[in-house]
Amino acid sequence: ASKRRGKNCIAFFDPAMQQEASRLMQLEEELRAALGRRELVLAYQPIVELSQQRTVAYEALIRWHHPRHGWLAPSEFIPAAEQSGLIVALGYRVLETVCEMLAAAVAEGCERVPVAVNISPQQFRDKRFLQEVERILAQTGAPPGLLELEITETSLMDNLESTAAILDELQRIGLRISIDDFGTGYSSLALLKQLPVDTLKIDRCFVRDLEVDEGDRQIIQAVVAMAAKLHLDVVAEGVESDAQRQWLLAFGCRCGQGYLFGRPQIVERPFSGAVTA
């Protein structure tokens, strides 16, 4: 029978598909258990000023130390977390961990450096999102001004009216908002003008071939020019070479993030130095 099946014919009991489905289910179960243990940890990557290479913020990025598979990157388990809805609980856990760290750092008189946390589309759409953010801030005592939320363009576009209301409230509390992976979605100028956003993070795909691709350079220049008009900050993602840094500087892009400045590092706290008055 299999011989008669056309190339595009979908088999109902595809063993590969079934294997993939059970792999996802197992991952989901393990992720649920991992949330209750200490297998999920945060790595912090610096965001720097391109001219001085001074760190202006950090981004928190999740890692999973799986008991059998070792270290897993988000691409290896975020899909399972999203499919199961676990991403929401996981997202609040990340937020809590970062806020506890910020509060402790402030209490010890460390340098005050903002930290950005990624918010998945599902978490952003969670009914309790604002309530949970406020609860976590109140319980940890983290200064809202040191917390930045990274939300993707697509996630913001989903339901404009509620997006605007949520962002207005977050801004009122004192949080900063970044649009992550900017350029890969479909947001418009009009939208950007309406929303209380602080920063655009230009997606890595425009930075990667910047040195050889005139089209990418034009896109970056256009985004930087637009951001300047709207008084938004710009961060270029995935800066790996000094040549890329030079181009970005020439375009007026103020900040960058990438392996050139530092890889994500698994640490309790990304900064330590107490400020001496």
Q: Is the dihedral of CA 156, 161, 167, 171 positive or negative?
A: positive
Q: 12 is written with which tokens?
A: 């109902």
Residue 121: contacted member of Mg ion, ligand C2E, none (CB under 5 to 8 Å, by partner type): none
Q: How far is the CB of 183 from ligand C2E (least distance, A)?
A: 12
Give the whole-angstrom CA distance, residue 261 versus residue 269.
17
In angstroms and rounded to an integer, the radius of gyration of the C-alpha atoms of the chain is 21
**In the complex with ligand C2E, which residue's Cβ is closer, 172 or 260?**
260
**In the complex with ligand C2E, which residue's Cβ is closer, 204 or 269?**
204
- In the list 31, 44, 86, 91, the residue contacting ligand C2E (rule: CB under 6 A) is 91
Buried b (16+ CB within 10 A) or exposed e, 167-200: beebbeeebbbbbbbbbeeebeeebbeebebebb
- In the list 120, 140, 155, 199, the residue contacting ligand C2E (rule: CB under 6 A) is 120
Number of residues that bind ligand C2E (CB under 6 A): 24
Q: Is the dihedral of CA 4, 7, 12, 17 positive or negative?
A: positive
Residue 270 as a binder of ligand C2E (CB under 6 A): the answer is: no
Residue 61 as a binder of ligand C2E (CB under 6 A): the answer is: yes
Q: How far is the CB of 267 from Mg ion (least distance, A)?
A: 18
Q: How far is the CB of 232 from ligand C2E (least distance, A)?
A: 17
Q: Which residues bind Mg ion (CB under 5 A)?
A: 118, 150, 180-181, 237
Site for ligand C2E in 187-206 (CB under 6 A): 204
Residue 45 has φ and ψ, to the nearest 5°, of -120, 135
